[in-house]
Amino acid sequence: MRALLQGIAADQQAYAELQALLEQQFDGAVRHQSARLAELAGAITALVDTMEARRAERVALVQRLLGPHGTMAQAFALLKNPARERMEADWRTLEHSVRECKRLGKRNSDLLVEQYTIMQRVLHGEEQIYAPT
> What is the pTM (predicted TM-score) of this model?
0.86
Domains in the chain, please, with CATH? 2-124 (1.20.58)
- pLDDT tens string 26-77: 999 999 999 999 999 999 999 999 999 999 999 999 999 999 999 999 999 9
Nearest residue to 51 via CA among 3, 12, 90 = 12
CA 74, distance to chain mean position in Å, is: 24
Mean pLDDT of 92-121: 95
Handedness of CA 47, 52, 55, 61 (dihedral sign): negative
Place 120 in a pLDDT band, splitting at 50, 70 and 90: confident
